[in-house]
Amino acid sequence: MSKVALLFLFVFLGGIFTAFFVTPVASFIVYQAVYLANPDSRWWAATIPGMRYSLIAASFMLVILVVKYRELTELAPWKQQPIFKWLLALLIMYEVMNLFAIVPDEHSRFTFDFVKLVVIILVAYKLVNSEKALDACLWAYILGTTYIGYVAYSLGRNSQGRVEGIGMVDTGGDGNMTAAAMVPALILLTYTAWIGNKRIKILSIFCGALIANAIVLINSRGAFLGAVAGGLFFLFYMIFSRYQRKGQRGAAILIILVAFGGTLYVADEAFWERMDTLREVDDGGKSGSHRIDFWLATFDVLNDYPLGVGIGGYIQLSPAYLPAHYFENRTTGKAVHSTWFQALAEIGWLGFLIFLALLVSTYRVSRRTKQHLIRKENYDAYFKILALEGALLSFIVAASFINRTRAEVLYWLILFIAVASNIYYFRVTELAERNKEVQSVARAKKNQ
């Protein structure tokens, strides 16, 4: 049995044991490890027992929730989190579209997968209920993407100059989708490389190098833009924020120099040639600007199907809405190639507005949490929230060029912000209100 397989089994079995006897959050970390390791697609899968590891991990999460429901609900009640109202509304829209989907079997199958994802997010919110638990989940995500970076390094590019088939189960082996899921880890590592101790800094640089190298090998233009957007967002606040730690601006400049130097070191000629096609908008085949045709066609589809066409519907109908030259030597339709237009096509205008409301609600909750942390002068946590915002921004930018409306990592990032708001804001303010009530009752009794 390989060392990687042994490590996977150790994490899986050890995490289940830890979840029952030490801390509930370990069950979600096991789920993260299974998702990111994706054992069914690895060469070492033949050396481990053939089991549905993801189902087992998710089932243990539910068992832990049932056993400790009262205790966990006191720490993380669902009802106070506005993000979940929009998440459930989005899920309802997908369920309603079962009645109108152009490809009902495909829509039903992927909607069921989305139901499972929403359940996982809701359960995880209760399990991840402390700062240490949140940090552990962030590191589980970072280390998982680092492993994927190692796989990319080991395999190298194929004959088409890409790395395919190394990602998570919901990426279908697509390199662009895998790169988009990895990019947010770079923003989180920027934070840990700055705020952590010496060991954490070294680990952050090591993980960041493998992840960045994988993104270069995959040659994803969207992921590159996402990394730039998320990185600039976070570093802008590091440099120009009024709330400064000692040496903060110098650390930001050092991070920029290290990132720039590292990019120059790992980026080869093939990568820069690929990125240079972003400027060649006249050649849609090179720049990807032909995707604008796919996006604009979404409005034509919605004119005929204002409620949307369901999952897979756009691909099915695309030959009727796109020029014929896109289908030469093809037996299937074209995807819309954008998370935004994917949402529009699948669930129509109403569903798209709900999807936007989910993201806006996440931002508002994050902003309220940051304002509270500023009042408490907890600037380390304040910048952690900014790093989470930057991570979400990086994914959204990268996903603007691929279909990721129901991507697992997207909802993990929303979950992490929701968890942080619960830990740093909702629970603290609720406790303060309870204390006020107790003091008010005590004063009333004293006056009597």
Mean pLDDT, each 10-residue run in order, the chain (448 residues): 88 93 95 94 87 93 95 93 97 96 96 97 97 97 96 86 88 92 96 94 94 91 93 94 87 85 74 67 54 93 95 95 87 92 97 98 97 94 97 97 96 98 90 59 61
394 within some domain: yes
340-to-29, 69, 224, 348 alpha-carbon distances in Å? 29, 36, 19, 11
- Confirm if 343 and 405 have CB atoms less than 8 A apart: yes
102-to-75, 249, 305, 345, 346 alpha-carbon distances in Å? 43, 54, 10, 11, 10
30 within some domain: no
Query: Considering only CA atoms, which of 354, 345, 338 is closest in space to residue 404?
Result: 338
Residue 59 structure tokens: 């089932």
Please give the span between the terminal C-alpha atoms of the chain, in angstroms, as a whole number. Answer: 75
Its pTM surpasses 0.75 = yes
Coil vs helix vs strand at 388: helix
How high is the pLDDT of residue 144? 96
- Confirm if 48 and 29 have CB atoms less than 8 A apart: no
Taking the C-alpha atoms of residue 353 and residue 415, their distance in angstroms, rounded to an integer, is 20
Residue 90 structure tokens: 């989005």
20 within some domain: no
Amino acid occupying residue 255: I
409 within some domain: yes
**CB neighbours of residue 197 within 10 Å:** 9
For residue 80, report the phi and psi dihedrals to the nearest 5 degrees: -85, -5
274 within some domain: yes
Taking the C-alpha atoms of residue 159 and residue 326, their distance in angstroms, rounded to an integer, is 24
How high is the pLDDT of residue 366? 97
Domain count, the chain: 1
Q: Which domain holds residue 388?
A: 68-447
Q: Residue 315: CB partners within 8 Å, gap ≥ 6? A: 332, 333, 334, 335
For residue 366, report the phi and psi dihedrals to the nearest 5 degrees: -65, -40
How high is the pLDDT of residue 290? 80
Taking the C-alpha atoms of residue 173 and residue 175, their distance in angstroms, rounded to an integer, is 6
10 within some domain: no
426 within some domain: yes
Residue 175 structure tokens: 């390199």
**CB neighbours of residue 317 within 10 Å:** 20
CA angle 179, 183, 185 (to 5 degrees): 130
How high is the pLDDT of residue 17? 93
147 within some domain: yes
